[in-house]
Structure formats: structure tokens, C-alpha cells
């Protein structure tokens, strides 16, 4: 599978922010939104007159430190803003791209977050809706001016007026390396002295039920070439999806799904019969590729999550229609249940040969 790639911002000539080289080598599940942006801004509004004068932002901030709170009332979203845009930051909230301006300062500030979690619903924002950023030096309210999809690497021209870009990979339901970025553009309309900001919700904890005999295998994406597909929520109300994705829960659950998928393959490859029987409840029949030396995922792994009306996950379906093993191509489908306590347990596996394989 693609290793996750992250391209940092750098200041360029003519006040443009552009994408350049750089690698992310931590969790290769989603490409953390690389802050690629649109090349021109429409002039809008008069200069902001602060209601109360905000303070002075820091000259610099330590990587991973909290620098503010992002609130988008129209999406019901409250998320911490941390300094930086690497994977450790984007697992926790939105990241302030270090080479961009501080929120509320002259120029363009860029906040990036995962498309499958915090920023999944950026496409629901409309011009005129508010985006609020609370920091230690001021409270800033921006109004959305537009939305765009641009290729990764597009330049962002900045100017003297404070502006904000919210950025995520596109499509917004993708779990794979995407070539495009979804941008929400906004301008500052109010600035005030800092005030108390509500604490963002913490994501729930999920744990894959994997027997000890299999936990010693490398189950993460960093060690397995597993292409990722899309994340969907069949028949789930929009409010349930919003509740589930706004605190990072979907990304945590998806990681556990990958661990279960890989645990099944390791159990089959190394003929771990007792581990197989403990891994799937109730125990399932051994797959036709049992003992195959090489099991490869040629197609993408797609995830479908069943949600309650309140946005709590109840079940999970994992599918890859192109698994190569024992000289054939197989369509593999696994199901899992998610308990109220966050335990994810496999409940079934179906393996069918590809007629064309």
C-alpha cells in the first residue's frame, strides 16, 4: 500500500504557499491533509475592526502543543488545534500548518485535518457561515467565502488581510492517498481578546479482540501492503455520522479494523488453528487459502460502519474483492460487532473465488 506522504508548506515568491517535498513515515492509513490551496483570492469586505484588541501571538510554538480551539457551529464541531501537521498531531485534532500565518494575523492561516474524521463534512459549509478559532491571544470569527477542490501542490497566494483555509484530502470519504484537496476559504470578520473556550470532546477508545497468539505479529499498515478504499455509513442518519466523525472516532475504529483484517491473514498463513477459532466468534470454517505462503491484498479494503441514531458504532463490514492467495483471486468479506465498551470482535468471514481469477 501507499505509505502516507505529507508535503510541508514553504513560503514561496510572490507571497504564495506551495507544496514541496517531504515524507510522512508514521501511520500510512490516510494521507494527512497536505495544505494545498487555491491560487487567487477574491477581495471581500472591509478591514476588521476588533471589538476588543486581541493580544500578540507567540513567535513560535512547540510541535504538538495546543494553540487553540476550532469551532464550526454549523457542523456541531469543536476540535483542538495543535501546532504542526504531522500524523501525531492529526490523530488528535486539526493542525496549524507552521509556515502559514497564525489565525487572526495578516496573511492566510491554514488548518488541516483528516478527511475521514474531523473534516469529513466540510462540504456542508456554505458562504456566510461562521468558523471560530479561540487562541491564547485572541478569539477570531471568520465567515466562509467559498469552497474549492484543487490538485495537491496548488499554490496559495496570501495577502495583508487575515484569512483562513480549512483543508482536507478529497474525496472526503477516502481512506487512500488522494491527489486532490478540499478547501474551505474564509475571511476574518471579528477579532476580540481571548475568552474561555469549551473543551473539545475526546474520542472513544476502541480495542480489537485479537487473541494473544496473534498480537505479536505486525498488524498495522506500516508493515503490511494493504491498499485502503473508502469509509461509508450505510443507512445512517446524517446526524449520526456527524456525531461519530467529529471527534476522531472513525479513524480510531478504522485502525482496529485493519488490525483484525491482518490478524485473520496471519492466522491463515501460519496455520494458527486455535488462534483462528478464538479470533472469530462463533468460530468459522478454515478458509480455502489456509496455509498459503503468500496472501496479498490487490484491491482496496473498504469499510462500512453501522451506527445507532446517536452515532455509536454497532457493527462493521470489511471487504476486499481482490485477495490473492493459493494461486487464485478471492473476494473476502468480514463482519464485526462493536460493543458499548468499544471492543471490536469478528463475527464472520466469507471467502468466495473470483470467477475471472
Residue 252 has pLDDT above 90, yes or no: no
φ/ψ (deg, to 5) at 166: -100, 130
**pLDDT mean across residues, the chain:** 81
Angle between helices 249-269 and 238-245 (to 10 degrees): 80
| CA gap 210, 221 in Å, rounded | 16
Alpha carbon distances (Å) from 278 to 11, 256, 264, 306: 54, 17, 11, 24
Residue 1 has pLDDT above 80, yes or no: no
| CA gap 17, 128 in Å, rounded | 25
Q: Judge whether 286 and 276 are in contact, CB under 8 Å.
A: yes
Weakest-pLDDT range from 37-41, 151-155, 319-323: 37-41
Cα atoms found within 13 Å of the Cα of residue 171, Cβ hemisphere only = 8
| Secondary structure (3-state) at 71 | strand
The 10s digit of each residue's pLDDT in 43-86 is 233 344 444 456 677 767 888 888 999 999 999 889 899 999 88
Alpha carbon distances (Å) from 290 to 266, 299, 345, 352: 10, 20, 21, 14
| CA gap 175, 302 in Å, rounded | 8
Task: Give 270's contacts (C-beta < 8 A, 6+ positions apart).
Answer: none
The 10s digit of each residue's pLDDT in 192-216 is 887 765 666 676 789 999 999 999 9
Task: Give 55's contacts (C-beta < 8 A, 6+ positions apart).
Answer: 136, 137, 138, 193, 194
Looking at residue 271, what DSSP letter applies? T
For the chain, the maximum distance between any two Cα atoms, rounded to a whole number of angstroms, is: 70
The 10s digit of each residue's pLDDT in 4-14 is 333 322 222 22
pLDDT of residue 200: 62
Residue 180 has pLDDT above 50, yes or no: yes
Q: What domains are there in the chain, each with its CATH number? A: 65-192 (2.40.260.10), 207-353 (3.10.450)
Residue 274 has pLDDT above 60, yes or no: yes
Report CA torsion sign: 315, 321, 324, 325.
positive
Which stretches within the chain are classed as H helix?
A: 87-90, 212-215, 238-245, 249-269, 273-279
Cell 478529497 belongs to: 170
Average pLDDT estimate for 85-114: 89
What is the enclosing helix (H) or strand (E) of 90? Answer: helix 87-90
Task: Give 292's contacts (C-beta < 8 A, 6+ positions apart).
Answer: 268, 269, 325, 326
> Does pTM surpass 0.75?
no
Cell of 304: 462500512
* Cα R_g (the chain), whole angstroms: 22
Q: Judge whether 183 and 38 are in contact, CB under 8 Å.
A: yes
Q: Judge whether 9 and 99 are in contact, CB under 8 Å.
A: yes
Amino acid at each position: 500500500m501507499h505509505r502516507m506522504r505529507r508535503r510541508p508548506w514553504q513560503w514561496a515568491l510572490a507571497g504564495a504557499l506551495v507544496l514541496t517535498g517531504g515524507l510522512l513515515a508514521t501511520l500510512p492509513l490516510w494521507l494527512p491533509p497536505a495544505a494545498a490551496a487555491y491560487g487567487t483570492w477574491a477581495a471581500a469586505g472591509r478591514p476588521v475592526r476588533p471589538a476588543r484588541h486581541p493580544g500578540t501571538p507567540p513567535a513560535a510554538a512547540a510541535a504538538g502543543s495546543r494553540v487553540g480551539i476550532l469551532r464550526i457551529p454549523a457542523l456541531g464541531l469543536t476540535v483542538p488545534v495543535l501546532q504542526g501537521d504531522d500524523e501525531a498531531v492529526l490523530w488528535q485534532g486539526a493542525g496549524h500548518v507552521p509556515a502559514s500565518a497564525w489565525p487572526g494575523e495578516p496573511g492566510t492561516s491554514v488548518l488541516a485535518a483528516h478527511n475521514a474524521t474531523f473534516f469529513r463534512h466540510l462540504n456542508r459549509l456554505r458562504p456566510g457561515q461562521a468558523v471560530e478559532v479561540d487562541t491564547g491571544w485572541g478569539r477570531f470569527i471568520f465567515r466562509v467565502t467559498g469552497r474549492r477542490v484543487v490538485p495537491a501542490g496548488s499554490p496559495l497566494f496570501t495577502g495583508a488581510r487575515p484569512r483562513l483555509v480549512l483543508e482536507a484530502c478529497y474525496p472526503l470519504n477516502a481512506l487512500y492517498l488522494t491527489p486532490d484537496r478540499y478547501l474551505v476559504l474564509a475571511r476574518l470578520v471579528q477579532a476580540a481578546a481571548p475568552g474561555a473556550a469549551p473543551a473539545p470532546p475526546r474520542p472513544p477508545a476502541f480495542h480489537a479482540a485479537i487473541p494473544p497468539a496473534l498480537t505479536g505479529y505486525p498488524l498495522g499498515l506500516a508493515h503490511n501492503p494493504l491498499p485502503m478504499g473508502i469509509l461509508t455509513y450505510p443507512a445512517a442518519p446524517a446526524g449520526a455520522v456527524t456525531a461519530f466523525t467529529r471527534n476522531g472516532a472513525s479513524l480510531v475504529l478504522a485502525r482496529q479494523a485493519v488490525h483484525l483484517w491482518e490478524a485473520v491473514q496471519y492466522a491463515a498463513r501460519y496455520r494458527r488453528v486455535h488462534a483462528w477459532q478464538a479470533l472469530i466468534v462463533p468460530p468459522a470454517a478454515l478458509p480455502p487459502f489456509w496455509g498459503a505462503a503468500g496472501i496479498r491484498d490487490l484491491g482496496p479494503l473498504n469499510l462500512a460502519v453501522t451506527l445507532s441514531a446517536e452515532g455509536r458504532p454497532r457493527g462493521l463490514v470489511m471487504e476486499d474483492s481482490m485477495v490473492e492467495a493459493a494461486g487464485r483471486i478471492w473476494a473476502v468479506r468480514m463482519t464485526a460487532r462493536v460493543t458499548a465498551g468499544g471492543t471490536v470482535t469478528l463475527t464472520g468471514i466469507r471467502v468466495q473465488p473470483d470467477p475471472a481469477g
